[in-house]
Amino acid sequence: MAQNSTLRWLELDVVDRILQSRGRDQASLIPILQAVQGELGYLPEEAILAIARHLRLPPSRVFGVITFYAQFRLTPRGRHTVRVCRGTACHVRGGAAVAKAVQSITGVQPGQTSADMRFTYETVACIGACALAPTVVADENTYGEMTPEKAKELLETLN
């Protein structure tokens, strides 16, 4: 319990530092959200409430902005983000088997983060590397011609 309490205080210190460096102009909402998420990795409820108070906005308005833009996250992410393409080329070339393997290895459904905070697993409509299908993006690196076995090897290399 003490660790969670300490973490919350550290998070709020980060939020306070960012808010003190910004004005109260409501036009600064998105840059503030980006800065807080850049520091914390996501936007915890306490941060959203502090931002709303600082900008004199209803929390629902801040939440509305957060949920409108795909760049913002309300839950912590794993150390590694693994995205599996589910586009047509990837699907035709065995992408479903790769996705099933990644799901099995990470132990989570698409959109979830593993309990050990090692992986966040996502599926995407198209990675844009159809010639390399099926593809996986691990963190910022794209891997083509994936198989379930190659996916397992890749995930084992991510610490």
93 vs 11, higher pLDDT? 93
Number of domains, the chain: 2
Q: Which residues pair with 141 in a beta bridge?
A: 138
Residue indicated by tokens 């099926």: 134
Print the domain residue range for 153: 80-157
Interval 66-117: pLDDT, tens: 999 988 999 888 999 999 999 999 999 999 999 999 999 999 999 999 999 9
Q: Are residues 61 and 86 in the same domain?
A: no
Q: How far apart are the C-alpha atoms of 126 and 84, rounded to whole Å?
A: 9
Q: Are residues 56 and 87 in the same domain?
A: no
